[in-house]
Amino acid sequence: MIVAEWKPMPELLERMRGVKKLLLVGCATCVAECAAGGEREVETLAPLLRMAAAKQGGALEVITKTLERQCEWEFVEELAKLTPAADAVLSLACGIGVQALAERFPQLPVYPGVNTTALSIREKPGLWTARCAACGDCVLGDTFGLCPVARCAKSLLNGPCGGTRKNGKCEVDENTECVWTLIFERARQRGQLEVLLKVRKPKNWSRSGHGGPGRIDREDLRV
């Protein structure tokens, strides 16, 4: 899923300066799963914003709404009846949702309430770790189902750098597994270490953001 984290409170409050009526919009999909922008987080953040504004001597009215998905136009449309009353929108969706609202309601400032960080899995309650970098050229078939593009700090494709800690963690973060150590272990368990001996050629990064904004154009799906 797409995961995100709340922006720091001081940054949010700075954005709210001068705003009288705020439309705070959550998204019930990915960011709800990672407890950053679902209905519960919207209803938690709203009173915090009101209190902080009151403390600064202002009155902030916060209208809350959580959409099924902020990245789908049919759901975004539900906001049309609420936007006339608002002078700004704070979206707790990922960057896709924020942009969808800004595109549908161009007359209003739409601010991001979260930082979208990665495509992650929930390892255990309260812990999400990156699994996919959306690089557009999947290598998982050659790396025993573990992604070095997303999970190696250097996105190395031919094995671990010299920085693997004794306990198999990454030199960059003592809490992160060296994915190449995991790949090696899985290859060994399968008895296929020879697969890792193959020198992988330079990757084609043009299918990731480096080739310009991504596009999938399927004429067969148009009506």
Partner 1 sequence: MSYKAGSRLEKVIAAGNFALTVEVGPPRSADPEVIRKKAALLKGYADGYNVTDNQTAVVRMSSLAGAKLLLDAGCEPVLQMTCRDRNRIALQSDLLGASALGIKNCLCLSGDHQKAGVSGKLKGHPGAKNVYDLDSIQLLAVLKGLRDDARQEGGDAVDKPVPFFIGAAWTPLATPEEFRVLRLAKKIEAGADFIQTQAVYDVKRFGAQLAKAREMGLTDRAAILAGVIVPKSAGMMKYMNKNVPGVEVPEELIRRMESAKDPKAEGVKITVELIDALAGLPGLKGVHLQAIEAEDLLPEIIKAAGLCPRPEI
Burial group, residue 213, by CB count within 10 angstroms (0-12, 13-18, 19+): exposed
Provide the CA 140 distance to its chain's centre, in angstroms.
21
Angstrom distance (rounded) from CA 102 to CA 110: 6
Q: At residue 153, what is the residue type?
A: A
CB of 165 to partner 1, least distance (A): 6
Q: Does 166 bind partner 1 (CB under 8 A)?
A: yes
Q: Does 154 bind partner 1 (CB under 8 A)?
A: yes
CB of 186 to partner 1, least distance (A): 11
Alpha helices in the chain (DSSP H): 9-16, 30-33, 39-55, 73-76, 95-104, 148-151, 179-189
Options 57, 202, 212, 213; binder of partner 1; rule CB under 8 A: 202
- 203's CB contacts (< 8 A; 6+ apart) are 135, 137, 139, 149, 157
Q: Does 136 bind partner 1 (CB under 8 A)?
A: no
Q: Does 161 bind partner 1 (CB under 8 A)?
A: yes
Angstrom distance (rounded) from CA 47 to CA 66: 15
Across-strand partners of 177?
169
Q: Does 153 bind partner 1 (CB under 8 A)?
A: yes
Angstrom distance (rounded) from CA 98 to CA 47: 21
Q: Does 189 bind partner 1 (CB under 8 A)?
A: no
CB of 135 to partner 1, least distance (A): 12
Tokens of 101: 């609202």
Q: Which is nearer to partner 1, 197 or 221 (CB)?
A: 197
Q: Which is nearer to partner 1, 64 or 115 (CB)?
A: 115
Options 163, 209, 211, 214; binder of partner 1; rule CB under 8 A: 163
Q: Does 67 bind partner 1 (CB under 8 A)?
A: no
> Could you write out the DSSP letters of every residue in 165-193?
-TTSEETTEEEEE-HHHHHHHHHHHTT-G
CB of 5 to partner 1, least distance (A): 17
Q: Does 99 bind partner 1 (CB under 8 A)?
A: no
Options 115, 117, 155, 176; binder of partner 1; rule CB under 8 A: 155
CB of 207 to partner 1, least distance (A): 14
CB of 140 to partner 1, least distance (A): 17
Contact residues for partner 1 (CB under 8 A)? Answer: 153-168, 171-172, 178, 180-181, 184-185, 188, 193, 196-197, 199-203, 205
